[in-house]
Structure 1
């Protein structure tokens, strides 16, 4: 074979990765994220990678020397509604057919509809999606704003106060509220007790940054703003509006805006951060408008492709 000629790596499929293989995938994901400016896996996939009991299929691509050159994760929790797919290729081994080989492996390994995320809307991902017949179905924007600028003070509706989330006490009430607030959302509204507990156990979890809007008297939960702080070596700290939800019965009173600004103030004043990000569906025009009025601007996009 002549030098520089593209090669297709060996692709293998398994239903379980060893701890060493998981570590390899995480290193690969970090390298790709640093190169592309967008991490290749969302939080859901990262949590499942670290959970050996999570139902999934894994495709690995390796060079002849054993180097991990690519990986695809297939979430098979509910294949009838669609197998979730995320795929990454090593930055040093691109343009040699690895991505397409993994994508074809995904088609061979999964039955039923597929839902594949292309984080950062990478052109190579778009090209593969078009060639294999995927449709561009959904766009998730990442918005950012500095926290060095003024944050509007939260103006809570009458009879509403804020307090911190209490793990073990608020779990069920919060899950009920989350399900109501995101009844039409394809992921957030389906959270289970296990989904919540997995995140409460994460090193980044801070109950003081999980703000609950409580009705007085009675104590009924009306809304929440769960904040998050991203910290990793070599990167600047950044806050996240992780999720903001409001009970449908409390819409129209300004609670969503008040919760958002309260969380921004927490990230700036209590955590000392100078920038913040969030994710919002392009189709959620009301939320996009609110965030833009609060000083957020588009940073990058993530595209969900469907097949079947």
Structure 2
């Protein structure tokens, strides 16, 4: 097929956002894995200097491909998807070249001495087609994000939390700043989680899956926030086959090494089982050895892999 005309770069209208979501849904049904992660979907409406949206259309005006580049971190992180009916026609290569050019641009703050950022491209599910696409363009795996799962059955571990600590639900509004500060400290240096802002928290709190009862905060005897576990259950799943996610679990640096992360994860699993989930799932970086040991002890096993590619 001929390359789509036009390629549009800029903010997305509400109709264009809906078209991208429909494109992602079609690709997910075809591939068996969602092509875009949560963050780019939440940012479809973003119109700022750190975010680039690119839509490729067919000559008839249908949305055939989408690219989003996030330049807010130390690297430019890109995610792209091409509709199954329009693959192997050059759209993916076109979107990748656009991402590479965008990443090389100086920061849009106007500082003349700033350089572009290295580009990292996410591929979800570690599909053979994605591996071939990356290899043909000189990209190699730079990071693995593991998808782990375990059944929520009678063998669930009991949460072994300190008796003098209090585990309570998150209070929207009252706990926002304190939790964001805890999260930033717990995930200092993490390329995504550690950069969450109060605005990012509010974006997630506005999603249909958000439930404060499944967002648990741990306080020490002085009332200081020392840990949290945030769970996520997507609505609309088939009864009896519902996945519940340990969305984020972290402890304050001063409280680490005391087993609180394991206990909080167990508390999150207990909550997911109580609301009817059949399987607990989570994501963890492949090189996070300490966290992987914890999840191994809790009965998790690998169920999938996302890969971030970079130039060799």
> TM-score under structure 1 normalisation?
0.90
Task: Specify the alignment match of 2:98 in structure 1.
Answer: 105
Tell me what 2:166 maps to. Answer: 161
Structure 2: gaps spanning 5 or more residues: 105-115
What is the aligned counterpart of 1:257 among 262, 278, 294?
262
Which of these residues, 104, 111, 120, is aligned with residue 115 of structure 1?
A: 120
Structure 1's unaligned 5+ residue stretches are: 1-5
Deviation of 1:296 (Å): 1.2
| Cα drift, residue 150 of structure 1 | 2.3
Q: Name which of 185, 191, 194 aligns with 2:196.
A: 191
How much has 1:69 moved relative to structure 2? 1.6
1:215 equivalent in structure 2? 220
How far apart in 1 are the matches of 2:257 and 2:203? 32
Per-residue CA deviation, residues 107-151 of structure 1 (Å, 9 max, x unaligned), is 233322212111111223223323333342110000111113421
Structure 1 counterpart of 2:85: 92
Which residue in the other structure is 1:66 paired with? 61
Note the aligned Cα RMSD (angstroms).
Answer: 2.0
CA contact (8 A) 1:71 1:89 kept: yes
Query: What is the TM-score of this pair, normalised by structure 2?
Result: 0.89
Q: Which residue of 1 aligns with 2:276?
A: 272
CA distance in 1, matches of 2:195, 2:4: 37
Q: 1:172 to 1:203 in 2, by over 3 A?
A: same
Distance (Å, rounded) in 1 between the aligned partners of 2:59 and 2:128: 27
Question: Matches of 1:54 and 1:280 in 2, distance apart?
Answer: 29
Q: Which residue does 1:28 correspond to in 2?
A: 23
1:172-211 deviations in whole A, cap 9, x for unaligned? 1111111111112111111111111211222211111001
Is 1:75 paired with 2:75? no
* Closer/same/farther in 2, CA of residues 109 and 255 from structure 1, 3 Å limit: closer
User: How many angstroms does 1:238 deviate by?
Assistant: 1.6
Query: What are the within-5 Å matches in structure 2 for residues 272-291 of structure 1?
Result: 272-291=276-295
Q: How far apart in 1 are the matches of 2:62 and 2:224?
A: 54
Residue 209 of structure 1 contacts residue 228 of structure 1 at CA under 8 Å; is this kept in 2? yes
Task: Give deviations 1:234-279, integer Å, cap 9, x for gaps.
Answer: 795321000000112112222111111111111111x111112100
Match of 2:42 in 1: 47
Give the Cα separation in 1 of the matches to 2:237 and 2:166.
Answer: 37
For 1:133 and 1:293, the matched residues in 2 are separated by 38
The answer as to whether partners of 1:231 and 1:238 remain within 8 angstroms in 2 is no
Local SS of the residue matching 2:233: strand
Alpha-carbon distance in 2 for matches of 1:124, 1:290? 32
Q: How many angstroms apart in 2 are the aligned matches of 1:233 and 1:27?
A: 18
**Given that residues 11 and 101 in structure 1 are in contact (C-alpha distance below 8 angstroms), is that contact kept between their aligned partners in structure 2?**
no
Corresponding position: 1:231 with 2:235 = yes
